[in-house]
Amino acid sequence: MTPAPFDTSIPTLGPCLIHSPLHRIGGVEAPYKTDAVDRILYHSHLLEDGRDVSQPSYEEAGPREMIYFDPAKTTVGIVTCGGLCPGLNDIIRGIVHRCHQQYGVARVYGFRYGYEGLVQRFGHTPLLLKPSSVDQAHHFGGTLLGSSRGKQDIGEMVDTLEDMKVDILFVIGGDGTLRGAAELTKEIERRGLKKAVVGIPKTIDNDIRYLDKSFGFETAFDAAVQAVKCAYVEATGAVNGVGLVKLMGRDSGFIACYAALAGSNVDFVLIPEVHFELEGEAGFLEFLRQRLMKRGNAVIVVAEGAGQHLMQSGDTTDASGNKRYGDIGPFLKDRINAFFKERKTEVNLKYIDPSYIVRSVPANAQDNVYCSRLAQNAVHAAMAGKTKMLVGRWHGSFVHLPLELVIHGRRKVDPTQELWHSVLECTGQPMVMK
């Protein structure tokens, strides 16, 4: 193991000359952090030879004793982008409460419908957010600000921030959204402005690099497990019953893996990271036939990005610039039915796609706490003038990560590591299907 070759430093807008109002929280001295001392190591284990050498580390998140922005003069903006995800309202609520109640920031605006809300010609009037207007938001799924996909003109967005005198912008979104945040910081720097941009990573797929997990993932796979259970009931209630469930995961199969492990009644998990073929003696369809002969039923969980090489999906892209994938769920359903029809074998296949149900549910208790702490630490970082960064959790601790570090590539399931091997043990499926 060698130290990771990347820069983990976090830019700051300038010297922090203002005493934080968080001197005492509930009668206890605030747990202030120091950038140079309070750091979380990138590697959680010693190097193989046991040498005590310098390793990359991240700034630990938390309140700073001295802050950059004067709360009484500070204006904050919040924007949510991309697809819906459990916990968005929890994050918004957490930011508003921390700004108002802990720091005394009175002007917090919510920009509506994603980055469109930062472009004035779309006519989406920002909302003035107060604790009273977000108190019950965490009980509901979705985002009270609305969302949208797609790129917008960076210059126009910065113009809006200038016109509204926004000092801090919290950007809540996934990979594409965070790339947009990085572009915003470049334009802000080019204009010589003192504005902080802090990201809070959101993705059901749990595919943000260098993070333990992203918010909403716990709730999402919890809801996905219910769909898998329904598929199992359907499969066991018919002759040669097959329950086929398509779950989220364009490029990373984490939710499919966790849903299968939690349900413990899945026979096959198909994910983007592991290649498989349908036909042939060692193909998926033949293994499915053998499973039905042996048990009389089977449950299949497939991530949306799996098996793309089997379909002609073309080269079109969506509004966010992501390649449009073929729909593996109906495709797999049709191929399974055709396979058994050719062999004159009865099969009763039930197909379940719970994607929008999973995306739109309110956050569960565990995600609720996680979102609250993410929001807390994002506000602490922004008030200290930190920018071009996001807040996340690494090895169980909340840390600051540079935006440039996480926007290049996605976190994926490693087929050689423990998670995938746990799936193989749980399902009993063959390691290779080709």
pLDDT digits (tens, 9 = 90+) for 299-323: 999 999 999 999 976 666 666 566 7
Question: What pLDDT score was predicted for residue 2?
Answer: 45
205, 207, 251, 267: which is the annotated catalytic residue? 205
The top-scoring range by mean pLDDT among 130-134, 218-222, 353-357, 428-432 is 130-134
- Check whether 424 has a pLDDT greater than 70: yes
CATH of domain 18-43+56-214+363-406: 3.40.50.450
Per residue in 332-390, pLDDT (tens digit) is 999 999 999 999 999 999 999 998 888 889 999 999 999 999 999 999 999 999 999 99
- pLDDT category of residue 1 using cuts at 50, 70 and 90: very low
The three-state secondary structure class of 13 is: coil
Per residue in 112-141, pLDDT (tens digit) is 999 999 999 999 999 999 999 999 999 999
- Residue 96 near residue 88 (C-beta atoms within 8 A): no
- Check whether 222 has a pLDDT greater than 90: no
Question: What pLDDT score was predicted for residue 195?
Answer: 98
Class of domain 217-360: alpha beta
Phi first, then psi, for residue 365 (nearest 5°) are -60, -40
The three-state secondary structure class of 420 is: helix
User: How large is the average pLDDT for residues 249-255?
Assistant: 91
- Residue 350 near residue 30 (C-beta atoms within 8 A): no
More confident residue, 301 or 150: 301
- pLDDT category of residue 171 using cuts at 50, 70 and 90: very high
**Count of beta carbons in the 10 Å neighbourhood of residue 344:** 6
More confident residue, 405 or 276: 276
Distance CA 46, CA 55 (A): 10
Domain 217-360 in the same topology as domain 18-43+56-214+363-406: yes
CA distances from 216 to 54, 207, 222 (A): 34, 12, 10
CA–chain centroid gap for 217, Å, is: 7
Report angle CA 8, 210, 272 to the nearest 5 degrees: 145
Per residue in 365-381, pLDDT (tens digit) is 999 999 999 999 999 99
Contacts for 113 with CB less than 8 Å, ≥ 6 apart: 122, 124, 145, 146, 147, 148
Strand partners, 302: 246, 270
- Residue 376 near residue 96 (C-beta atoms within 8 A): no
Question: What pLDDT score was predicted for residue 313?
Answer: 65
**Length of the chain in residues, anyone?**
434
The residue among 77, 87, 218 whose CA lies nearest residue 143 is: 87
Question: What pLDDT score was predicted for residue 369?
Answer: 94
More confident residue, 433 or 395: 433
- Check whether 26 has a pLDDT greater than 50: no
The pTM of this model reads 0.86
Share of the chain above pLDDT 90, in %: 69
- Check whether 285 has a pLDDT greater than 90: yes
More confident residue, 41 or 213: 213
User: How large is the average pLDDT for residues 73-89?
Assistant: 95
More confident residue, 374 or 29: 374
The residue among 389, 375, 383 whose CA lies nearest residue 104 is: 383
The residue ranges of every structural domain in the chain are 18-43+56-214+363-406, 217-360
Cα dihedral 217, 218, 221, 226 sign? negative
The three-state secondary structure class of 145 is: coil
Distance CA 181, CA 169 (A): 9
Distance CA 370, CA 4 (A): 27
Question: What pLDDT score was predicted for residue 263?
Answer: 76
- Residue 11 near residue 386 (C-beta atoms within 8 A): yes
CA distances from 271 to 47, 252, 261, 276, 304 (A): 32, 7, 14, 9, 8
Share of the chain above pLDDT 70, in %: 91
Judge whether 205 counts as a catalytic residue. yes
- pLDDT category of residue 50 using cuts at 50, 70 and 90: low
Distance CA 131, CA 28 (A): 24
